[in-house]
Structure 1
């Protein structure tokens, strides 16, 4: 029996290896491409800032489905000193990772980075490109992917309708990518995303986990990180109301009226200018909050950085530096997409996204189950981080989501005797607050808006450095819990509800004010087709 069992143990890896070799040979016979087919040539001659990039660059389109024209665009920067691969995703849905991630945040070449409080993102978007010494490419191999199908240079049909389809496309793309770049398969893989990528990344990681028992070559996933992530629209959506109130942008009358509107919307009983609840756009509540805070005549509180006022609506421009650069024919040739005829856009506008049927009815509603499975059934690290000046996906929303998530460590997460909490420091200075239990980590990044690498390049460099080392520890100074006598049940604090029952007179006044607000916004938007929410989750 011992000899028979040992032979079986030895035979299994041999069979798996033989299967892998046969599949590899079949692909080679079929005309499989090599890394050289994707190498970027001549980009430094077009934009001198690329001459400073340390590492090789590859880009192009790789199939995301069998028997389909669906292909995803990638841009890879290699780092021979690293054994990790970070894959970065931006959100939207419908926003390019090349636009915000590569050129605006942590790529090797960006427009100038600015701290929170920098007025006018559009002005920054028009700035010239420069080498970024805080690029994450100096820490790890890093790849930016444009997805879902239809975003940026990516093309094909049909468009995905939910997160399972998004994850399946990414999984097939990734297996095809590793077949072409076999050295990358050995790297420790980290999926990192921002904003609506809070939906993408857990879905993709969960799909990889479920496929681990298939005959496909294994994927060496070691961690996921969500930056200002959109993970649960029902929990996070209304927090924008409280956040605006906490920052003095609206008063309690508007706060309570907006909460009532939110409740009606979620229950399906509200009309224009709000719209029925969707995962990408909630109910259009952000537009109402901004207008209640004074958005008018092209100026608005910046939903991504509330320390500033900016253009209204707040979005990066598709006529700025990036769009002009990425639509140049010689740049497209250098990036191996010269044959792609469509115009490159940083973000597909909301109305355009709906015409494409791109995730407007996205499901599931929450990433809680997927993230709980990853925490309980794998050993990967899960990092959630938020800039504290972001209203669109505020840190309080992330905390409430994490507090309410049902996993084996939930009671420890809510118990100060079992969780670790303290200050995160970079170069001796406080960079934020950190909390950890087992393989779950939560960071609130000080003086940062929605795009942490843009506002805090030095601190985000430290963040990704610790994360890619594995089992990251962000607590540099422990904060002891000193209020045991006053501690309650450990249940999370819920978002601020509408106020206590008021007198009929005050209730009537609130109703009138809200009615006036509804009528004004109806008149203002009557010429719009459908609905077009103010912020896109980058």
Structure 2
């Protein structure tokens, strides 16, 4: 009773309500048999920004003591009661998932003046799925608190606890298929979180109402196995389909230094110490990956100059007091706080290999989608396709026997695809690091096919 009264009060004081044009009544967050602590850990609004035709919730769940995690949820435009629930995470580590919401797969985009949030008609994934965007870890975006998270291992437990609290507050979505998607450093986060969900799901003492119905994961231009992926840095910088961007002497330097980098990363894998992993990260960054900067090109889009900046226009909009009030944000917006990034890197997290977690997902029946814009250097498509070719899981031989085939949409070849044994890799032509930013139509079609179990 105490919980229901609190939630009712929160709804009354919310400054925004569901659109009057919405044909159904907005459901209130509630639960049966709630945990007693949840009432004191929930704070939200019901904004009508971007897509007023659907139910939205935005605000905070307190995951730990003084750990306030900001989320923004959009119902699906199609059958939200049965549509999948997809959580999107950006990378960094520490990049706000409002990036995904405003510039990639979400319902929002800014008008030309940058003064108003309008619907992302070309590519919002809420056309086919309920969407949940989470700022994590603490410090990213609007999330705040006094707990410093400095590893993927720590972050995964916070995301799991957040999901349990979210489902407690909105139990109507718990039985919907759950998909976990993200990009870039989420190549660490996504496999670790999914593997942790599977571990918790398999615990014999887990209450039935805490089971998470996870079905698949998706990673866009992600860093998952640095040891394999770094070996393709030279290939992308010097021999890609977009032509070389480095002088031959720079290519030779990358080639000469790569074996040393690989040996250091192997030691990180074998020993697992912070010192070993930090040494590998420092050497590989300076003597292999960062040689690319001599090109003057953008690491996220090899076709653009380094001064180019795809996206990130929403910062000022989200930092206006009026918008923060509408969405229940309690702090200024920090798109990519450097201290979060630094904490992870100083703890050796970057160099660690999360391909075994992907294997665990596949071995437990989850479907895995790896996709990559082929103009991205940072975590380029050669490296992603490369690590997918060499890691072992129950169906790895079946996958390796397949080849890259044309990926067609409306009679046009828009990329390449390789698929087998629940693992699919998609190369997206002409896209940089943030695939959906460059190719919204193709990204939406890819996602729609994936969640509907349709071949690419």
Shift of 1:337: 2.2
Aligned equivalent of 1:366: 353
Contact 2:375 2:431 in 1 (8 A): yes
For each residue in 1:202-250, what CA deviation from the matched residue of structure 2 results, as whole angstroms up to 9, or x when unmatched?
Answer: 0000000111123141100010001111111222124222211112112
Q: CA RMSD in A?
A: 2.9
- Give distance in 2, aligned partners of 1:31 and 1:327: 28
Distance 2:342 2:398 in 1: 45
Q: Per-residue displacement from partner, 1:38-78 (whole Å, max 9, x unpaired)?
A: 2324x55xxxxx3x54311111111223xx11121110001
341, 365, 370: which is aligned to 1:379? 365
Q: C-alpha deviations, 1:261-306, integer Å up to 9, x for none?
A: 344456669xxxxx84339984474432221x2x2xxxxx122122
Q: Does 1:38 align with 2:36?
A: no
Q: CA deviation at 1:31?
A: 6.2
Retained in 1: the 8 A contact 2:69–2:134? yes
Conserved in 2, the CA contact under 8 Å of 1:160 and 1:358?
no
* CA shift in 2, pair 1:30/1:380, >3 Å: closer
The whole-number CA distance in structure 2 between the counterparts of 1:364 and 1:425 is 35
Find the counterpart in structure 1 of residue 119 from structure 2.
131
Change (3 A) 1:420 1:379: farther
Cα offset, 1:89, TM superposition: 0.7
Change (3 A) 1:126 1:155: same
What is residue 71 of structure 1 aligned with on the other side? 68
1:256 to 1:371, Cα distance in 2 relative to 1, 3 A? same
Q: Retained in 1: the 8 A contact 2:195–2:360? A: yes
Residue deviations 1:495-520, cap 9 Å, x none? xxxxxxxxxxxxxxxxxxxxxxxxxx
SS of the counterpart of 1:170? helix
Give matches, 1:74-85, under 5 Å.
74-79=71-76, 81-82=79-80, 83-85=83-85
Work out whether 1:25 is the aligned partner of 2:33. yes
1:253 corresponds in structure 2 to 249
Give the structure 1 partner of residue 415 of structure 2.
432
Cα gap change, 1:125 to 1:310, in 2 (>3 Å) = farther
Distance 1:437 1:130, change over 3 A: same
TM superposition outliers: structure 1 runs of 4+ over 6 Å = 124-128
Q: Indicate how the Cα distance of structure 1 residues 40 and 34 shifts in structure 2: closer, same or farther if over 3 A, else same.
A: farther
Question: Residues 60-459 of structure 1: matches in 2 within 5 Å?
Answer: 60-65=59-64, 68-79=65-76, 81-82=79-80, 83-98=83-98, 100-111=99-110, 129-133=117-121, 134-214=123-203, 215-216=206-207, 217-246=210-239, 247-265=243-261, 276-278=279-281, 282-283=285-286, 285-291=288-294, 293=295, 295=296, 301-311=297-307, 321-338=313-330, 340=331, 343-349=332-338, 352-353=339-340, 356=343, 360-362=347-349, 365-376=352-363, 378-415=364-401, 419=402, 421-459=404-442
Please report the TM-score for the alignment, with normalisation by the length of structure 2. Answer: 0.81
Q: Distance in 2 between matches of 1:150 and 1:231?
A: 23
Give 1:256 deviation, angstroms: 1.8
Of the three residues 473, 477, 483, the one matched with 2:455 is 473
Q: CA deviation at 1:169?
A: 0.7
Q: 1:172 to 1:410 in 2, by over 3 A?
A: same
Distance 1:328 1:280, change over 3 A: farther
Cα distance in 2 between the residues matched to 1:206 and 1:31 = 25
With over 3 angstroms needed to count, the CA separation of the structure-2 counterparts of 1:353 and 1:163, relative to structure 1, is closer
Which string of whole-angstrom CA distances, capped at 9 and with x for unpartnered residues, describes residues 404-461 of structure 1?
101122222222xxx3753222122222111111211111111211111111111111
1:326·1:344 contact (CA, 8 Å) conserved in 2? yes
Q: In the TM superposition, what whole-angstrom CA distance separates every residue of 1:291-330 from its partner, at most 9, and x where no partner exists?
A: 1x2x2xxxxx122122222417x5765xxx4221211222
Could you say what secondary structure the match of 1:277 adopts? Answer: helix
Consecutive unaligned residues of structure 2, counting only runs of 5 or more, are 1-30, 266-277
Conservation of the 8 A alpha-carbon contact between 1:279 and 1:365: no
TM-score by length of 1: 0.69
Task: State the secondary structure of the residue aligned to 2:33.
Answer: helix
The aligned length equals 403
Q: Using the TM superposition, give the Cα deviation of residue 95 of structure 1 relative to its aligned residue in structure 2, in angstroms.
A: 0.4
